Structure 1
Amino acid sequence: MPSFGLYYPWTHFQNDNWLKLALLTWDRLARMRPPAAPDRDGDLVRRLRGETDFLVETAPSAAVLNVVAESFGEIFDADPGRLLDRYGLDEPRACDGDPRGPGWRGYAPPITQHMVMGPPPVEVLTAVPVGGPGAKMTGGLRDGLVRLGLAVPMDGQWVGLDPELASIYLAVLADAMSHREALSPVTDDPRMHHATGALDRLVSLVFDEHVPVPAVENVSSAYLQIALETVLEPSHVDRVPGEKLISFREKHRAELAVFQAHVASLGPELQAAAEADNLEVAVAHLRALYETRTRPQLEELRKALRGMGIEASAGTLVQKIDLNAAAGTVLGSVAAAGGQLAVAGVAVAVTLVPYLAGKTKARRQQMAKSPVAYLLAADRKLTGRALLRRDR
């Protein structure tokens, strides 16, 4: 499965809980944030930027921008009147900052990427960078949009678009860039158009022609997140401190790679969810697959560890000493100490080291063989009970 995601359509992340799950799901996550854009990142994003290699700042190449510009240009040349009727900037899209004014279609940009035009009733537009490092649009396409009345130039190298047209443009841009850079587009804004395949669906998107689109954009990452949510309980994700997630990710990268391979092996079985048009149906397929293919392996791993004297229930991992197996060392040490417990304690501590080391080695080998060891690690370290112990 792809291990490198491309965040779209916005410059800044909108949901910290989504980002926390992304941190546990992807090896890396790229985003298109121009260097000149104001730094409006939250504490979690700044921590990820400063302490990990998880976030990658990137920009579309000139080749990607040209492909998108040519595709949009062909549509604008074919039917400019129809475009103006739908996306022209002669009518306000929102009144006095209220996103539900005339013409509202549900695509208002976040405050970090919008511009307001004119006196009340105001018009809220989406700002897109043009030219310079981190540009998301060619100068030629910007000029054509402005001439048609579909965009307005802004201060600096930015242009303002109708929010819905901008959401389509940014989805198509993410799709084109993903193909070129072997990335997988992901978003934390459920209102947005799916980027996957958006370039091929451009005409239907622009003219609002209904074309069935799978409800789940990236079925492999969705499956991985459902597996994690089943273990972690989504309501508790917001309680997991950022530093704990960062530490967990760094420690369990190898297990994540193995689990990603397990998910990739389910490719044919994931197809039903990948083709579902209804989100509830897609999620039901994924949950059913988890119950039949992944959860049994997780229970088998727990059972195997318990059989080795290791308790692996949710939120805990306790080493249990098998006195019968250790009798030769433990009881022998007590006898050697003449029944004196104070002396025996030292002897037991010394002689148990090889025994415990053997148990630890066996545990590591068992974990290394399992494709679901990553889920068990998340269960141990990131669940509500683990956090409760930490707080205490």
Structure 2
Amino acid sequence: MVDPIALYYPYIHVRDDTWLKYAALYWPKMGRLRPASYPVRDSAVAEVLRREMGWLVDVLPNRAAISVQRRFLQFVGEYAAELRERFGLDKSARWPPRPASSFMNTSSVHGGATSAGSVGVWPGRGGPSAAESRSELDPRLGYIHLSKTEPQVVDNLIEEGLAVEAPGRGGRWLGMHPELANVYMCVLAEQVASQNHLHPVTDQVLPHAAVSGWTVERIAAALLGDHRISRSEREPGDPLGAFVLTAFETVVPANLASVPVGKIVEIRQKFGVELDAFREYVTGQVEQMSGIEDVQDFTLFQEHIHNEVQRTVAKQLDDLRERLRSIGLESVRALANIKTFALPPLAATAAQFAGINPAITGSAAVATCLASVPVQARNERRQAMRESPVGYLFRVGQEFDPATLANRVRKLIRQR
């Protein structure tokens, strides 16, 4: 089974670098919906992941937009009156302004609105207004890059008084009520994911998610509160994403934000075998959690995930620690036994035990035995971690352990 690449939404740029580090510890790669003409301004963390690992992948949304068009046109056609009443631009004066950092301010993917003023006359697709000429975007709206829509959808939304077209960084944008923009981006992200074997993920707390079945009925339920929709069509959770994040939280320190991104790159490069085994294990565990995505209460959904991680991942980690502890004790006993050898009678026996030339006796034989025990113990520890499905998690915890890092620093100092 091919490990799915993650698909970040609803923005182009990931807004939370700590979340990005978590994601980079697990997902093979991460795609993002980036228009070809859009100039990126990645954070330092994202830039390292893109440049050194090729981890960030740009995805063009064109084909998916064609597939989404039919659903959105049908939705707007069936619910036009209700949409105008709730999301019509002529009622925007009643919409509260969003802070610049808010997801709902730019719920598509735009890098941020630049104007706090309002647009008095909605220009539709006619000539640009003074605000448009200055590339100012109304902070009350959510903006979607035109490359993520189809002309029919753009025309339809503008004609119904639900959207306005305006210039901005990287091209032209379609502005609308943030909730409407949010749902459109969720539908688009889900379509892109289904067409390309991607798994939608986000660092935002969103009112809706890009997972599982955005039918016309679900779009209506999300935007218009249509409670006639059946339970099976309501907002599902994302068990895989939640399981992965909760599992990492069992070993990753709270100060992950201060961990250099280079450390993330190093871990990925050093422990690829263990990571592959962990991904396979996670996939199996999530597949066994049948139906959990339908839990309606988000707090209870999180509790189910937490309990499952404790029951499976935490137990596997405890078993691995116990096995490693046992290997350590065995190596200590072996060293103690070798040190009690009496010379010269046991020298030949020690040499034979270590697999060295019987002609070598005395202190040289004992020294060889002493050296072979820690090497054997290290090999056994490495084998134990590779055989454990959570060996990668254990490795990550070790790499982030302050005591481990301090020991490495002390060793470097002694070597100078």
TM-score by length of 2: 0.77
Residue correspondence of structure 1 range 206-221 to structure 2 within 5 A: 206-210=223-227, 217-221=237-241
Match of 1:178 in 2: 193
- Aligned CA RMSD, in angstroms, stands at 3.5
Structure 1 letter corresponding to 2:145:
P
Q: Which residue does the alignment assign to 2:184? A: 169
Task: Decide whether aligned partners of structure 1 residues 256 and 66 sit closer, same or farther in structure 2, where only a CA change above 3 A counts.
Answer: same
Q: Which has the larger radius of gyration?
A: 2
Name the SS of the counterpart of 2:211 in structure 1.
coil
Q: Which moved more, 1:352-361 or 1:282-291?
A: 352-361
Q: How do 1:1-392 residues align onto structure 2 when only pairs under 5 Å count?
A: 2-62=3-63, 64-92=64-92, 98-99=97-98, 107-109=104-106, 112-114=111-113, 116=115, 119=118, 124-130=140-146, 135-155=147-167, 156-200=171-215, 201-210=218-227, 217-233=237-253, 235-267=254-286, 269-271=288-290, 273-309=292-328, 322-327=334-339, 352-386=370-404
Q: In structure 2, how many angstroms separate the alpha carbons of the residues matched to 1:129 and 1:268? A: 36
Label 1:293 to 1:89 Cα distance change in 2 as closer, same or farther (>3 A). Answer: same
Q: Which amino acid aligns with 1:220?
A: L
Partner SS, residue 335 of structure 2: coil
Q: Which runs of 5+ in 1 are unaligned?
A: 312-318, 337-343
What are structure 2's unaligned runs of at least 5 residues?
A: 121-137, 349-361, 411-416
Is contact 2:65-2:150 (8 Å) kept? yes
What's the offset of the Cα at 1:321?
7.6
Query: CA 1:123–1:61 in 2, change beyond 3 Å: closer, same or farther?
Result: closer
Deviation, 1:192, is 3.9
CA contact (8 A) 1:309 1:322 kept: no
Residues 128 and 268 (structure 1), Cα distance of their counterparts in 2 relative to 1, 3 Å cut? closer
Q: Is the 8 A contact 1:214 1:276 kept in 2?
A: no
Q: Distance in 2 between matches of 1:255 and 1:180?
A: 29
Give the fraction of aligned pairs with identical amino acids, expressed as a percent.
Answer: 28
The code of the aligned residue for 1:66 comes to: I
Cα 1:185/1:152, change in 2 over 3 Å: same
Distance 2:190 2:84 in 1: 25
Structure 2 letter corresponding to 1:77: G
CA distance in 1, matches of 2:145, 2:33: 10
- Measured after TM superposition, the shift of residue 265 of structure 1 is 2.3
Structure 1: which amino acid aligns with 2:249? E
Once residues 73 and 99 of structure 1 are traced to their aligned partners in structure 2, the CA distance between those partners, rounded to angstroms, is 28
What code does the residue aligned with 1:308 have? I
**Count of residue pairs brought into register by the alignment:** 368
Deviation by residue 1:284-329 (Cα, 9 ceiling, x = unmatched): 2222222222222211211111211279xxxxxxx85832354489
2: CA distance between counterparts of 1:209 and 1:345? 84
1:116, 1:85 → 2: CA distance?
A: 25
Q: Is the 8 A contact 2:12 2:32 kept in 1?
A: yes
Q: Could you tell me whether the CA contact under 8 Å between 2:106 and 2:142 is conserved in 1?
A: yes
Partners in 1 of 2:13 and 2:342 — Cα distance? 59
Partner deviation per Cα, 1:355-378 (whole Å, 9 max, x = no partner): 333222222222221111011101
Q: 1:77 to 1:115 in 2, by over 3 A?
A: farther
Q: Counterpart of 1:57 in 2: which secondary structure?
A: strand
The Cα of 1:167 is off from its aligned counterpart by 0.4
Moved more, 49-58 or 258-267: 258-267
User: What do the CA deviations read for 1:78-133 (whole angstroms, capped 9, x no partner)?
Assistant: 232221112211233688x9427xxxx98222771436485488653222222xxx
**1:154 match: secondary structure:** strand
**Partner SS for 1:232:** coil
